[in-house]
Amino acid sequence: MTKNTGADVSPAVTVQNASFAYTDGLPVLSSLSLSISTGRVTAILGPNGVGKTTLLNMILGWIRPSEGAVLLFGQSLTSMSRRDAGRTVSIVPQDEHLAFEYSLLDYVLLGRSPHLNALALPGQQDIAMADRCLKRVGMYERRFDPVTDISGGEKQLVLLARSLCQEPRLLLLDEPSAHLDIANKRRLVNLIQDLRNTGVTVVLTTHDPDFAAVTSDEIVLLSDGNLLAQGAPSEVMTSALLSAAFRIPLQVDWQNNHPHIIW
């Protein structure tokens, strides 16, 4: 699998000594600093509860660090208009409650909001964009079905189509493979690589080392809200580092540029 090793290493995301704790007072992220390069795929890897989703929400601007700062392409989200923010970053959450029976097409068209004037309806170009995004995720044939009638894995693909329709420079994916079967995981991996090759920066969270290795150019390994390691998959996915992150003995054997993990 070919990976982009282009020279553009300017940061899409800069996290500067960021800390965050929820109302129970327990710290989730502690003085975390890292940089994510533009135009690459970065996997945030670690077990459940280490702050992966919190970090994504902080990058998106849904939560603010109690200390430190987060910059996107050198700019704070707080200095961007809602429209500019919507054109800069989008997230595909693990799940989303769908209260209305939108058709898949209407639901994906919600992603066009940052590109429309106030109270404007989507035009033919917006509909064509939504159709293309549904085709990319394999859901075009069902575009008129109610979004409430599809499976969990299919909903994940439609959420992805909505984010693609937004045309962000930075795409965040929270555990994107969690509900997908093997065929759709392959579709997702191919789509992520296509996005990277067209200049979109992709940041995904996962607790699956194998998925991180297959998809990413770089891995950020978290442990208890701290940065344990960051680098190429072959540098980060070692027996010692994964054992420390997941707190169980793990053996990593690299064969044909792919890790085999024994636990």
Which residue carries 């660090």 as its tokens? 65
Can you give the pLDDT at residue 178?
Answer: 85
**Number of residues in the chain:** 263
CA–CA dist 108, 100 (Å, integer): 13
Class of domain 1-73+200-263: alpha beta
Parallel, antiparallel, or unpaired for β 11-21 and 67-72? antiparallel
**pTM of the predicted structure, to 2 decimals:** 0.90
CA–CA dist 44, 51 (Å, integer): 10
Can you give the pLDDT at residue 100?
Answer: 76
- Amino acid identity for residue 34 in this structure: L
Can you give the pLDDT at residue 5?
Answer: 42
Q: Are 206 and 43 in contact (CB under 8 A)?
A: yes
Nearest to 89 by CA among 196, 7, 13, 158: 13
- Amino acid identity for residue 101 in this structure: E
Nearest to 137 by CA among 150, 149, 124, 123: 150
CA–CA dist 144, 146 (Å, integer): 7
Nearest to 130 by CA among 108, 114, 99: 108
Q: Are 43 and 32 in contact (CB under 8 A)?
A: no
The tens place of each residue's pLDDT in the chain, 263 residues long, gives: 334 444 445 799 999 999 999 877 778 999 999 999 999 999 999 999 899 999 999 999 999 999 999 999 999 888 888 888 888 999 999 888 766 788 999 999 999 998 988 778 889 999 999 999 999 999 999 999 999 889 888 999 999 999 999 999 999 999 998 888 999 899 999 999 999 999 999 999 999 999 999 999 999 999 988 999 999 999 999 999 999 999 999 999 998 888 889 88
Helix and strand element counts for the chain (H, E): 9, 12
CA–CA dist 222, 229 (Å, integer): 7
Burial class of residue 249 (count of CB atoms within 10 Å of its CB; 0-12, 13-18, 19+): exposed
> Torsions phi, psi of 23, nearest 5?
-65, -20
Q: Are 253 and 210 in contact (CB under 8 A)?
A: no
